[in-house]
């Protein structure tokens, strides 16, 4: 390898080290960019899932509110269909201002507070 006029061996080694660092940074940047793209996809998927759950809960609330209007005198009723687990059920009961008395997967006997 021939040195350019005015270049020393030390300068050449420093330049080569700098080139190696830049290559390493480029590889790290590309790996990081791939990770970010992957995370963006995961976040989009989670947002879609949450959006679907919100839609299900919204429909369930509308269904229950319609039932309550039709049965003004009734105190107890049963929630079924569309509720995904106990946590969603308790959240729904809280929103409606009712007490979940007997909860099981996708079913609950509810009493008005």
In a domain, 67, yes or no: yes
Give yes or no for residue 90 having a pLDDT over 70: yes
Between the two ends of the chain, the Cα-to-Cα distance in Å is: 87
In a domain, 87, yes or no: yes
Residue that has been written with the tokens 């947002």 in this structure: 47
Q: How far apart are CA 15 and CA 29, in angstroms?
A: 21
Q: How far apart are CA 48 and CA 3, in angstroms?
A: 60
Q: How far apart are CA 43 and CA 47, in angstroms?
A: 6
- How would you list the strands of the sheet with 98-104, edge to edge? 76-80, 107-112, 98-104
Task: Name the residue range of residue 52's domain.
Answer: 9-112
In a domain, 77, yes or no: yes
Give yes or no for residue 112 having a pLDDT over 90: no
In a domain, 4, yes or no: no
In a domain, 98, yes or no: yes
For 36-89, the pLDDT digits (tens) are: 999 999 999 999 998 988 888 888 878 777 766 776 655 555 555 556 666 777
In a domain, 3, yes or no: no
pLDDT (0 to 100) of residue 77: 57
97 phi-psi bin (left φ>0, alpha ψ -120 to 50, beta other): left
Which is nearest to 13 in space by CA: 24, 1, 23? 1
């Amino acid at each position: 390898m021939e040195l350019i006029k005015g270049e020393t061996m030390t300068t050449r080694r420093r330049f080569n080290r700098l080139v190696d660092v830049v290559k390493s940074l480029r590889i790290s940047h590309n790996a990081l960019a791939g990770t970010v793209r992957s995370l963006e996809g995961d976040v989009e998927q989670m947002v879609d899932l949450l959006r679907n759950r919100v839609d299900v809960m919204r429909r369930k609330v509308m269904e229950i509110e319609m039932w309550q209007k039709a049965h003004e005198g009734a105190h107890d009723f049963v929630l079924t269909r569309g509720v995904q687990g106990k946590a969603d059920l308790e959240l729904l009961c809280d929103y409606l201002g009712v007490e979940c008395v007997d909860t099981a997967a996708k079913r609950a006997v509810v009493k008005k507070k």
